[in-house]
Homo-oligomer: A and B are copies of this chain.
Amino acid sequence: MKVIQSAQNKQIKEWKKLATKKGRQKQKAYLLDGWHLVKEAFISDINISFLLVTENFKYLDEIETMNKDTHETIIISEEVANHLSETPSPQGVFAVVSLEDTQDENIVLQGAWLMLDAVQDPGNIGTMVRTADAAGFSGVIFGDGTADVYQPKVVRAMQGSQFHIKVITGSLGSWIQKMHTQHMPVFGTELNPDAKPYDTIEKQHDFAVIMGNEGNGMHKEFLQNTTCNLYIPIMGHAESLNVAVAAGILMFQLKA
């Protein structure tokens, strides 16, 4: 098995670039960091090109039984692991996996969809993908201005849910239009009593719900093009809810 000891190694330098959007697009790959995520990738049908493990990684035997023949396994030093990881104490296991083509416009619009309209915080975004998965949603559509799906902090917070549901990058305007054509209700969210309280809507099978930017909410052009807009009534004195919490409340309430 190949061994890489130095963080100055040329190949390691390339993989380090996977932390940037440019690097991911150039190499058409992204990096999984940590045992839970790597295991999820092995269970899924995603294409793993390289598995990087430190010499003492305790689940190495378990990985070898997982029967993916396509990848090359490389032993890395602790120094390399610390260099590649965005976390303070890496577990010593990484996988370089293929970037899915997330702009697939031929997708079948069925079930429940979450749309993100210029959401910024990568932790919130990843948590929303994880919650959409837990709520039985079909997928999440990342609209313009939303942080990149495969940014390390988003990947960490998704906890592998990108292997369970569709994750698409695209223009929300055209997706909303497609949903209207298919008579799927599209719910916008607006912290505004002109909207309907979220718990007055019947549970739905095929629909979409849109979450807006943390500070500014949804774009007006999208708010005006929804089937109806919803709000979560605030009972106390907090000004608003965290966007990932609000998305969780809405998804679990609306999904039949």
Interface residue ranges, A against B (CB under 8 Å): 123, 127, 130-137, 157, 159, 161, 164-165, 232, 234-242, 244-249, 252, 255
CB distance from A202 to the nearest CB of B (A): 15
CB distance from A242 to the nearest CB of B (A): 5
CB distance from A204 to the nearest CB of B (A): 14
The answer to whether residues A238 and B123 also contact, given A244-B245, A245-B244, A248-B249 and a CB cut-off of 8 A, is no
CB distance from A115 to the nearest CB of B (A): 17
The answer to whether residues A134 and B238 also contact, given A249-B249, A252-B249 and a CB cut-off of 8 A, is yes
Q: Is there an interface contact between B242 and A135, defined as CB atoms closer than 8 Å?
A: no
CB distance from A27 to the nearest CB of B (A): 27
Complex: A242 Cα to B130 Cα, angstroms? 8
Q: Is there an interface contact between B161 and A238, defined as CB atoms closer than 8 Å?
A: yes
Q: Is there an interface contact between A237 and B131, defined as CB atoms closer than 8 Å?
A: no
Chain B residue, CB-CB nearest to A127: B242
Complex: A245 Cα to B127 Cα, angstroms? 8
Q: Is there an interface contact between A164 and B237, defined as CB atoms closer than 8 Å?
A: yes
Chain B residue, CB-CB nearest to A163: B237
Residues from chain B with a CB closer than 8 A to the CB of A165 are 236
Contact for A244 among B234, B240, B244, CB less than 8 A = B244
Q: Is there an interface contact between A134 and B240, defined as CB atoms closer than 8 Å?
A: yes
Q: Is there an interface contact between A134 and B235, defined as CB atoms closer than 8 Å?
A: yes
Residues from chain B with a CB closer than 8 A to the CB of A235 are 134-136, 255
Q: Is there an interface contact between B237 and A133, defined as CB atoms closer than 8 Å?
A: yes
12 A-B contacts (beta carbon < 8 Å): A127-B245, A130-B241, A131-B245, A133-B238, A134-B234, A134-B238, A165-B236, A242-B248, A244-B245, A245-B247, A246-B248, A249-B252
The answer to whether residues A134 and B241 also contact, given A252-B232, A252-B249 and a CB cut-off of 8 A, is yes
Contact for A131 among B130, B241, B252, CB less than 8 A = B241
Residues from chain B with a CB closer than 8 A to the CB of A240 are 134
Q: Is there an interface contact between A164 and B236, defined as CB atoms closer than 8 Å?
A: yes
Complex: A159 Cα to B239 Cα, angstroms? 9
Q: Is there an interface contact between B244 and A135, defined as CB atoms closer than 8 Å?
A: no
